[in-house]
Amino acid sequence: MEQQFSIRIISNNELEHVTDWAVREGFAPGFDDISIYKNTDKQGIWVGCLNDVPIGSIACVKYNKSYGFIGLFIVKKNFRHKGYGLRLWKHALQYLQDIDCIGLEAAPNRLNDYAKWGFKKSSVTNRWKLYGFQDLPKTNFYIDDLSKFKVVLGKQISSEQVLIYDSQRELSPRPHFLSDWLQNSVGIVKSIIDENDMCHGFGRIRPCILPHNQRGWRIGPLLADTPPIAELLIRELVKGLENQILLDCPSLNPYSNYLLSNLGFTIISKTYRMYKGNQPPCPMNQVYGLACLEIG
């Protein structure tokens, strides 16, 4: 009997299956990440099914009319090279056809594939790893006086301040995604404020699932005015954590390599940010960590 292939919006009881696929692909998804992706765009995550049983997935999220993102593009190994991935891919492009700019993160061996569809390479995204807080230098790398700043938990600063700070440093405003991301019960959010309670940086760390179901942590986003403030945030976020800690950082930040390598992080892999359409201009020198690679 011929199997029928179809594409539909993911259901809540399938989120765990797609999370398992992402773990096997080495994506190191955070706990509850994919649930947040689903809520960012109610039609943003799709599954490809054979006889209504999911065998592949793709995220195609519309942030607004100017910007969208494709990710979480997975076909289970037993079903590859049969055309199912191509049908998912075309579905995503069709869904985002009215968006001015579409972004994605490409593995090095997929650059040519995406280039055939009009995507152009923009920059490298490095995945950095720290083996735990114990590997941080005992003393601060930067010696700047930060006494006028203090670190507070995310709930101690207004969400409006954080959203404004984020929107000035990202390609496109993302209030709905960021609100869900920062208020999620899984993980910790910390911010840096001055004596006037103005935000000068913030970050989130969350537990993630590494290959072989090992547990680790992922930092993201991580935004800061200066490298010393970024260091302060990193130290506060990883304090007391002994497992592997991952951070995805855009190479367009000219300060990131120097800071992270001197804090004991090492690069373990890289992807390439690619865009199709009119890429919005955005300086990245205050972006030390991306929220996630799957939906930008």
What is the model's pLDDT at position 63? 85
Tens of pLDDT along 204-251?
999 999 988 899 999 999 999 999 999 999 999 999 998 999 999 999
Same topology for domains 5-125 and 126-270+283-289, yes or no? yes
Min mean pLDDT across 21-30, 58-67, 259-268 is at 58-67
Q: Give the chain's mean pLDDT.
A: 90
Domain boundaries, the chain: 5-125, 126-270+283-289
Which CA distances in Å does 222 have to 6, 45, 85, 183? Answer: 38, 25, 32, 15
Single pTM value for the model: 0.91
Q: Look at the alpha carbons of 256, 220, 206, 231 in this order and tell me if their dihedral is positive or negative.
A: positive
CATH architecture assigned to 126-270+283-289:
3-Layer(aba) Sandwich (3.40)
Tens of pLDDT along 161-179?
877 787 777 766 666 566 7
What is the model's pLDDT at position 57? 97
Domain 5-125 CATH class label = alpha beta
List, as own/partner pairs, every contact residues 158-164 make where C-beta atoms lie below 8 angstroms and the sequence separation is at least 24, other chains included.
159/183, 161/197, 161/198, 161/199, 162/191, 162/199, 162/202, 164/199
What is the model's pLDDT at position 175? 61
Q: What is the DSSP letter of 30?
A: B
